[in-house]
Structure 1
Amino acid sequence: MLSTAAMPDQGEIWYRDRRVIEDLAGIRGTIGYLPADFQPYSHMTPRRFLQYMAVLKGVDPGIEVEERLARTDLVPVCDVRISKLSEGTKRRLGIAQALLGSPEVLLLDEPLTHLDGVERRKMIEFLTRYARGRMVVAVSHELDEWDHVDQIVWLEQGQPVFFGPPALWVTGLGEKVWSKVLDPEELEGLESRRILARRWTGDRVRVRLFARMAPGDGFREETPTLQEAYVIRREERRIGS
């Protein structure tokens, strides 16, 4: 609904003191949108597809398209049929079309899907810079990669259950994160659902888990990652429900 692709059954959506229902065309001109199920025309090339989308958005299809191809590392494949591209490359094309016209509001649904580690880091760095003076909203189930965001919104069944900065997200918890290097047999005494991560070093394993109190001698309290805080909050809501 924020992308104006659908209208709400109840309530209203406002952008900068403007009601969507009163200025739909004007507001859409300020929004860039990448849906989760982005499917570009497979018979086109990335360059042709962006030119097509630029015309639909009322954007000059010349320099703008070439800039977006370069920004999303699509120049080497810009004249290859989309049907022959990898899913990660298609995802970058989806981000490129959302950026056409340098929209004030950028709405991205799982933008990092199918991207490799290097591509993910580059894209997050770019989006962090792009967000200066603009609004970028990214939907993601992998929170740790978004540690530079200004605000986190957690939705459950369509309802917001948390809204605030990352510092509050990782500190306002009823449980704490603990770590320790253990022998394999010591793992048997731990609740598996409370284990957040385990990393083997030789024949021993470093474990991160959550609990209200230290689960034993030698455990060290750690700062939760964004993803760990999500796991803890989800468990707290499950127990409280």
Structure 2
Amino acid sequence: MLEIRNVTKTFGKKLTAVHDLSLNLGHGVVGLIGHNGAGKTTLMQMIATLTRPSSGSIFFQGQDIVKKPQAIRQRLGFLPQDFGIYPNLTALEFMQYFAALKGVRDPARIRHLLEVVNLHEQAKRQASSFSGGMRRRLGIAQALLNDPDILIVDEPTAGLDPEERLRFRHLLSELGFKKLVIMSTHIVSDVESIASQLAIMRQGKLVAHATPDDILAQAHGQIWTADIASDEYETLRNKVHVLQSQKQGNQMSLRIAHPHQPCAGARHATPSLEEALMAQRYAVQELAA
């Protein structure tokens, strides 16, 4: 469905936001993971044709969207991180406005989408009174107005409470059954349970493209748990990568990422996805050192 070939984006002479990135994507939820400044937003803006690559090509269903941006714009839904609303409009008026912009003339489509995002009971309520989660759901509703084949959401759960985050993730998971959903985040738990693929970016480069199970399998044997005396902690921390520490009386309970047993008594632990990604990151850093 979407093919990215050797895409690079530079700003000025010194800043390369995305460097020689290639990626093939089909249906499902793709978690685009990376720290702030990794190049995720720039990549999504290029896919959404909001900015052009400095070099490389992006193909949607075989058509080069760098040369023909209209080939994807009518089949695309986009929810940026900073999604603005018109505070004086109700949710219904907001949707009607965006429907007019997108050429959607079916009132039933608007009502259906407000139900999908669980805002139908607040349809006549001014958007200025909505919580952050409700505004994000309204943003998803407008992104789905044209029934897109590709849905791009940038840091969609930033600032949401746990209940709203759970509801949002469930909605994106359901959408991924029939569409390509690209979800950018630096919060691993947001994609851990819903992503069929992970694309991991670091300093503008794609460093991994794999399923969550593959990432976990690669970290097998590299995550450890250990209990040590509190006065030994500083010495050990300077030698290994401590992922988590908890003081318990005169001892420290640790979770550690390391390719070999980091200390006497350390035991293998089952990694979480976040720990597996951290182990991978440390391995790359050590190879580069």
TM-score normalised by structure 2 residue count: 0.73
- Tell me: CA distance 1:189–1:42, structure 2 relative to 1, closer, same or farther (3 Å): same
- Pairing 1:220–2:248 present: no
TM-superposed deviation, 1:33: 0.6
Q: Normalized per residue, which structure has more strand?
A: 2
Aligned ranges for residues 165-176 of structure 1 at < 5 Å? 165-173=211-219, 176=222
- Give the partner amino acid of 1:95: I
- Tell me: CA distance 1:199–1:78, structure 2 relative to 1, closer, same or farther (3 Å): farther
- Tell me: CA distance 1:114–1:63, structure 2 relative to 1, closer, same or farther (3 Å): farther
- Pairing 1:100–2:134 present: no
Judge conservation of contact 2:220–2:271 (CA < 8 Å) in 1. no
- Give the partner amino acid of 2:284: R
- Tell me: CA distance 1:202–1:122, structure 2 relative to 1, closer, same or farther (3 Å): farther
- Give the partner amino acid of 1:73: N
Aligned ranges for residues 64-143 of structure 1 at < 5 Å? 64-143=109-188
- Tell me: CA distance 1:216–1:118, structure 2 relative to 1, closer, same or farther (3 Å): same
TM-superposed deviation, 1:209: 1.4
Structure with higher RCO (Cα < 8 A, 6+ apart): 2
- Tell me: CA distance 1:9–1:189, structure 2 relative to 1, closer, same or farther (3 Å): closer
Judge conservation of contact 1:59–1:101 (CA < 8 Å) in 2. yes
Identical residues among aligned pairs (%)? 29
- Tell me: CA distance 1:183–1:69, structure 2 relative to 1, closer, same or farther (3 Å): farther
- Tell me: CA distance 1:195–1:184, structure 2 relative to 1, closer, same or farther (3 Å): same
- Pairing 1:58–2:103 present: yes
Query: Is there any run of 5+ residues in structure 1 with no aligned partner, and where?
Result: none
Deviation string 1:183-226 (CA, Å, 9 cap, x unpaired) is: 65554453177221245678866421112222234322123222
- Pairing 1:158–2:204 present: yes
- Pairing 1:177–2:238 present: no
Q: Give the aligned length.
A: 241
Query: Is there any run of 5+ residues in structure 2 with no aligned partner, and where?
Result: 1-45
Judge conservation of contact 2:223–2:256 (CA < 8 Å) in 1. yes
Deviation string 1:16-51 (CA, Å, 9 cap, x unpaired) is: 111214543342111111111211222222221111
Q: CA RMSD in A?
A: 2.6
- Give the partner amino acid of 1:150: S
- Tell me: CA distance 1:177–1:11, structure 2 relative to 1, closer, same or farther (3 Å): same
- 2:199 alignment partner, SS class: strand
- Give the partner amino acid of 1:156: R
Distance in 2, matches of 1:123 and 1:100, equals 17
